[in-house]
Structure 1
């Protein structure tokens, strides 16, 4: 399956123009990884037309001590909601003193191409 998405600039996460002045697009595997990153950044209820999409950051994660298993499973399930993602596995690490969470999500699209998304 060929996936095309708007190219988001890594530094600003905003759309940009190509050399001809058109809105820049991107294809597999970058488009799939970018779409997964966007899906995992969406708060539950934030998408107006489908309020079931998103991670329950306010309800279950922010201000709580959710554990890495909950965060990892929510990120994986959100990635798998995309029809062109075949599998997703992740690792999340939370620093107790810094209270910062970081991790990596490894995804495989329906073409069998693997990509990693830093969280």
Structure 2
């Protein structure tokens, strides 16, 4: 897998030769998982079916943390090259979910913050 390499502020960055930097391997998969977890259904311009269906199910309600965690794991498992995913930390403060998910990709374990 190959994808654009993003900064910690989710912006594009340049490589040493001034070209748009690319990520490969486990880093690309981890970044794609973080994107998938943050994506709301109907938010992606070219693929309106991708994403976690927060608008349909969770907004205006207080779903159990287990329901939210299951949706996040499911979103991670839909990313190409992800073999397994497990939520390692999860917290909701003022209706904002944060935490980390551990993924298996290319025989490596990678921890992804969300």
TM tier, smaller = 0.7 to 0.9
Q: For the residues of structure 2 that align with 1:4 and 1:74, how far apart are their CA atoms?
A: 25
Per-residue CA deviations over 1:66-115 (Å, capped at 9, x if unaligned) read 111111111111111112100111142224xx443222111101x11111
Q: For the residues of structure 2 that align with 1:100 and 1:16, how far apart are their CA atoms?
A: 27
TM-score (norm 1): 0.84
Per-residue CA deviations over 1:23-56 (Å, capped at 9, x if unaligned) read 1111222111100000111111223443321111
Greater mean alpha carbon deviation, residues 61-70 or residues 15-24: 61-70
More strand by share: 2
Which of 44, 47, 53 is residue 47 of structure 1 equivalent to? Answer: 44
The number of residue pairs the alignment matches comes to 113
Q: For the residues of structure 2 that align with 1:37 and 1:100, how far apart are their CA atoms?
A: 15
Structure 1 segments, 4+ long, off by >4 Å, are: none
Instruction: Indicate conservation of the 8 Å contact 1:7/1:24, yes or no.
Output: yes
Instruction: Indicate conservation of the 8 Å contact 2:29/2:80, yes or no.
Output: no
Classify 1:87/1:7 alpha carbon distance in 2 versus 1 (closer, same or farther; 3 Å).
Answer: same
Q: For the residues of structure 2 that align with 1:13 and 1:94, how far apart are their CA atoms?
A: 22
Which of 72, 76, 80 is residue 77 of structure 2 equivalent to? Answer: 80
What's the RMSD between the two structures over aligned residues? 1.6
TM-score (norm 2): 0.88
